[in-house]
Amino acid sequence: MCEIYVKADPRLYQKRRRSLRVGGVVTTLSLENQFWDTLEEMAAGEAISMPQLVGKLYQEVMDYHGEVSNFASFLRVCCMRYTTQVLPLQQAQNARQAS
């Protein structure tokens, strides 16, 4: 069962820091490479850059909740929701269009 997890490329779970402008302030975020890759994929789907996507997510969570106590964790959850909820819907739509 765990084979699918333990055979993951170690590069995917190495952390990488990036400096981005979020809410008008330059901040440094530390995420695992897998999450940075997913954010890049999400941004490409929206036809915007990854920093623009991160800024948009920040603004939307602030508008909705008024605060975000751990933005890096919020981004990880966004990535998980994308891969478990949004991506399967997109794949199903693409399969229907192809048939």
pLDDT confidence of residue 44:
97
Question: What stretch of H or E contains 76?
Answer: helix 71-81
Question: What stretch of H or E contains 30?
Answer: strand 25-32
Radius of gyration of the chain (CA): 15
Token pair belonging to 83: 């891969």
How many whole angstroms separate alpha carbon 67 and alpha carbon 87?
Answer: 27
User: In the predicted model, is pLDDT for residue 23 greater than 90?
Assistant: no
Q: What is the pTM of this model?
A: 0.89
50-76: average pLDDT: 96
65-73: average pLDDT: 95
* Cβ neighbours for 58, distance < 8 A, ≥ 6 positions apart: 22, 23, 68, 71
